[in-house]
Every structure is written in C-alpha cells, then in structure tokens.
Structure 1
C-alpha cells in the first residue's frame, strides 16, 4: 500500500534531533523500575525469582523502547506527542510500583496497565493522523491487540507457572514482530525509510538511558548501605561496587559516543532496528549486578553462596555480551579482548564461591578494569576506531 505523508505530528526533514528534557524526565521512571527489580530479586533469589523478575523487566523495557520509537518518528515538541508521553509516563509509574508483585496479587493490575499503555498510546495516533503515520500506528496497535489476550489470561491465572508461560509467549511475540517490522496483511511492514527519520535522536536517547540505568548501581548499594549501618567491610563493599559502576560507564558511555555517530551517519536505520535487542542485554546485566551489590553490602563477610556468584558475574557477562553483539551488528566486527574478558568471568565466578562476597565484588571490578585497560590500548592503536584485534 502506498503511504502518503501527514506532517502534522511527524518530524520534519532536517529538523532538530536532540532529545528533549521531557524525554529525559520520562526515563527517570524506568530507573526506579530497575532499582525495584534489583532489590526484589535479591529478596527472592532463585530460578523462579529470576523468571518472575525478568519477564516484567522485559515488559518495562519494551514500553520504553516503543515510546522511544514514537518520539523518534513523531515530533516530541508537539503538544499531542507530549500528552501521549505524559500518559505513558503515568502508566509506567504504575508499572514500576507493581513490579515486585506482578506475579502476586497485583498481576492483573500490571497486565491491564501494560496493555493500556500500548493501546492507549496508539489510539490517538490512529484517530487523528492520516496516510503513512496513521498506517504506522495501526500496525503497532494491531499487534499489541493480538498479544493482549495472553497478558490478561496470564494475569487471571492463579498459577505462577501458567502466568509466566503466557506472559513469556506475549513478550516473545512482541519482540519477534518488532524485529519483523510489524507486518500486517494489506498494510505491509513498517518501511525502512521510517527507521531513518531521526537516527541521531535515537542514539542520544540510548546513551541517556544507559547513563540513568547505571544509576541503579548507585541507588541500590547506597540504599542498602544506609539501611544496614556503617562498618569497615560494608564500606569496602560500597567502594568496590562504585569502582565497578564507574568502569561500566567507561566501557559503555565513554567509548560509545563516536561509534553511535559513525553508525548513524552510515546507516541510521540499523540502530533503530537492532539496538533494542542488544541494549536489553546490557540493561539486564546492570539489574543482575545491582542485585549482587544489594546482597554483598548486606553481608560482605563469610563465604559467597553460588547464587550470589551467579548474579555478580552474570551481570558484567550480560553487559559485555550486549556490547559485543551491538558492535558486531553495527560494524560486522567485534572486540576479541572483550570476548576474552567475558570468558574469564566464568572461572572467576567459580573462585568467588570460595572467597567472601566482598572479594567476589573486587574480582568483578578487576575484570572490568581489564576490559577498560585493553579498550584504551586498542583505542590508541586504532586512533579511536573499533578494532577486531585481540
């Protein structure tokens, strides 16, 4: 189907692509959601607890991602888009508040809020737009309508296993359809040209979000430190957690600025189509590491339980895998040194089970320091360009 343009709410070619302050304000809601997830996971650390924390987290991430696509295609300076963003922000606050009980008594509330955000965000765009923008919004609404029954039926189930299965099915459908560009009979897929509307804006949005995501590693340890009281071991654990957080910032933010610019200049649509699936790994890594910091600061001495070692070292592993995958998707190259440091995390996790949690956290920081140092060496050799050299 031929799509005409209706520029009333869409971005104008050549217009400003900077992220707005309202969008940055919107992101703060998700920082709270990530912190709540880390804290809740620390309280019920088990395989079931991981699933019950992971599925709502993936849902929250998808809310942020789809909302970012809206502000990337539509002009966030227009008041109707700002109103949509405000409504989504309110719904996201409610989602964040119910995250710890999404598999408990507030499951139905969580599911209703989630589907209302997606359907309510698309309704005014379908109603008041014409041509291409209307068809684009209709594609999104149709597929979120398809996934809605699984969300509601899962929430109505009294069995956590059934709820988890139905919610996982709904999320798998939403993530898959997003990768396929929301194909609809007679309407087709989202045109590739619509993924190249404001690539620089999207790159800036991801960088902003990741900076705020790392705030999870500041907020969670600080709250736990204040609740448990001051001691030498806890202070050392807090310092180790801060060092690891600063190194993650170095690995992700400091090194990614020029890369985003390069990718966007060469193929702006590639970021928009693939970043959601790589960046969710880095977000999950931060949440896992925040869970580990919460546990370690609460009990820095003794022997590290195996479950604690898993979240402590799975966090940076997921973070590095996300970054490696992003680099490969964007440049068709990857950093061998980062792969090596990610692999080294496995024997480090084994060693961590024989040492106190404080020393396990120090091992995490040492690994990330190794990544940062080899990145710096590789950067000097390649004049700041991404290199596939070891």
Structure 2
C-alpha cells in the first residue's frame, strides 16, 4: 500500500513531458544568479597572473555549485510528476535557496560564505530526504537516501570552508564539490544498498530536452541583458555603439550555431535513445560547458563595450576569445551526441580562433570581438552550405543504446 501511494509521485506514461510554468518560474532565480556570476567575472578585468587564475577559479566553483542544484532539480521534475504538491513544494523551496545563493554570489567567497553554503546544503541534504519520505515504501526512495547520505558526508567541508579562514575556503569547497560531482557520476554508492547509476534512470526525454534548451536561452538572455545594461549606462559614442552592435550579432550567432541542427533535435534524439538516461547524462555535461561558455562570452561584451579601443590586456582575451572557443568545443561534443559525427565547420572555427589569438592579443578589444563574430558567421555559413539541397537529418545518437542488464528496479 505504501509503495502504491509513493508511486503516485512518479511521472505517468500519459504525462506530456513538457516543462511546466512552475519550472520556468524556478528559473528566474537562476537569471539573477547568472547576472551575479558575470559580474564576478567582470571584476577580474584588471587582474593578472595568479590573482586572475584564483579569481576565475573561485567564480567557476560558484557556477558549478549552482549548476549542480539546477541539474538535480531538472532530473527530479523529469522523473516525478511536477503537478504533485510535494514536488511543487520542493521546486519552490529550491528556488528560494537558489535565490539566496544568487544574492550572496558577489561576496560568496568572502563575508557571505556562510549563507551561500547553508542554502546549498539545505537543497542537497534536506530535499532528497523530503522526496524519500514522500515516496514511502517505493523502491525509488533508496535513490534520494543515497544522495542525502553523500551530501551529509561533504557538509562538514562546506561548513568548515564557510567558518574557517578565507585562504582555506577555495580548497575545502573545491574538494566538497568534487565529491558531490563524483558521487553523482557513480550513482551515490552506499554499503549494502549499492549504487543507482543515473544513466540507467527512466526519464521524460521531452522534458529533459526542454530544460536544457531553456537553460541555454536563459544564459543567452543574460548576455543580451549585459549588452543592454552596459551600453545604457555608459556615455554614448560611435565606438561603443559599434561594440554594442557586434556584441548582439555575436549572441545571435551563438543562438544560430546551437540550434542548427543538433540543439533543435534534442527531443527527437532522446526519444530514439534506448536508454535516454544515458544520453541525458551526456547532454547535461555538454550543456554545463555551453552555458558556462555563454556566460564567459557575455563578460567579454561588457569589457569591449566599456572600452572598445582600450589597450590590449590578457583578461579581455580570456573572455572575448576563450568563451567562443569553449562554446564551439562544447557544440562539437553536442553534434557527436546527436548525430554520431564531428562537426567540421565548428572545428574550422576553433582552429581559426586559436591561430588568430596571438595577433588578437596585440590589438584592441573591439578588433578581437569583431574577428570572433566573423569566425562565428563563417561557421554559420558553412552549416547553411552543407545542408543546402539536402534532406533534413535524422538523429542517430551513439550514446544511449540499450544493452542487456541496463534495467534497474530503482530507476
């Protein structure tokens, strides 16, 4: 009887699988978080050497913490019925914790470390316990119990980093976050209970595709917000107007390159995969890179619009060129996951940017951003030429093919 009541939380076969309005509401907290992250990156504009590396590492760690929260929530709403009151309460509670993490981000590695860590731990420890209780006697309750066990094990590292000396915060939190990610990859193995590999879970593929596409658009929207805010807050000039225009064109090209065509076919690819959980796991890692690359690129917009023809600095090169290179690398990975091939046009773009980097390092930021936009436009044109007069491709993901022994009673 308890197992039957717990089964009511699972997504029924008749579920549409589409993302709900509640989840879009939930994403608003992460809109705030992404703007705060880009601001932390922008604050590194005058740093060099080890100070720049450490500052970049601190902000990257905060992003990875936020991504883990968002990804876990996405998988929860992909496996459980989001119309159930318990799941809705979990999503809203996670949104509040995410908002706390967002508002503490500007100083989360400094004096606001404790509220950031407590909000993170509340989600990663308490949330799975709530779900486990709601599942009652259903076999799936063991999955959140495993997750809570591992999260509780890393909690002392998070709290020690928040309360301890600031110089120890980065290594302690990096160790804790590394364990959280490794545990997720291994399926949170626990003595006697074993592990529950995420790539063997039963998921709503349509829902997962929706969420990844939406998160990419949120990151892209944040970049557009940066363009508008920075340009509206500076003195108007022809040079800044040109930087504003090129920045927008670059964002539009990122949108085009992502959705043509692999990004557009996530739903169909997950539907064709015998084990959609396996493909979904790979897509999660790919979209982590894609979203992060868009954030990094948006910081480049801010630096260029603020001073289009200022002196060349290593910092702006990291964002203006490094962000698009990482985006193209992640997009190559996405192409392979959807079609089982390597994208030649994107490889051409990566090689072109890497070869041009030494020359761009000696030029003005505006020149670098314009060259990046030109290379991205070349990638988009090559894509269009390749598909001209050809029938639309059908996804053939090499990841997610079912084999014997893939079924998991807890999945």
TM-score by length of 1: 0.93
Measure the CA separation in 1 of the matches of 2:267 and 2:376.
25
Residue 194 of structure 2 corresponds to residue 201 of structure 1: no
- What is the correspondence of 1:1-390 to structure 2 with a 5 Å cutoff? 6-45=6-45, 46-129=52-135, 130-160=137-167, 162-190=168-196, 195-267=201-273, 268-380=276-388, 383-385=391-393
Measure the CA separation in 1 of the matches of 2:131 and 2:213.
27
Structure 1 equivalent of residue 404 of structure 2: none
Which ranges of structure 1 fall in alignment gaps of 5 or more residues? none
Which ranges of structure 2 fall in alignment gaps of 5 or more residues? 46-51, 397-411
Shift in Å, 1:382? 5.1
- Change in CA separation of 1:5 and 1:325 when aligned onto 2, cut-off 3 Å: farther
Cα deviations by residue, 1:222-269 (Å, 9 ceiling, x for unpaired): 111122121111111010000000000011134235431332122122
Measure the CA separation in 1 of the matches of 2:195 and 2:299.
39
Measure the CA separation in 2 of the matches of 1:250 and 1:366.
14
- Say if 1:6 and 1:132, in contact at 8 Å, map to a contact too: no
Measure the CA separation in 2 of the matches of 1:5 and 1:331.
40
C-alpha RMSD of matched pairs (Å): 2.1
Provide the aligned length of Structure 1 versus Structure 2: 385
TM-score by length of 2: 0.88
Measure the CA separation in 2 of the matches of 1:285 and 1:167.
22
Measure the CA separation in 1 of the matches of 2:5 and 2:332.
37
- Say if 1:243 and 1:365, in contact at 8 Å, map to a contact too: yes
- Say if 1:10 and 1:75, in contact at 8 Å, map to a contact too: yes
Q: Secondary structure at the match of 1:203?
A: helix
- Say if 2:199 and 2:278, in contact at 8 Å, map to a contact too: no
Shift in Å, 1:102? 1.1
Measure the CA separation in 1 of the matches of 2:249 and 2:53.
28
Q: Secondary structure at the match of 1:196?
A: coil
More displaced stretch, 57-66 vs 333-342: 333-342
- Say if 1:309 and 1:353, in contact at 8 Å, map to a contact too: yes
Measure the CA separation in 2 of the matches of 1:142 and 1:330.
34
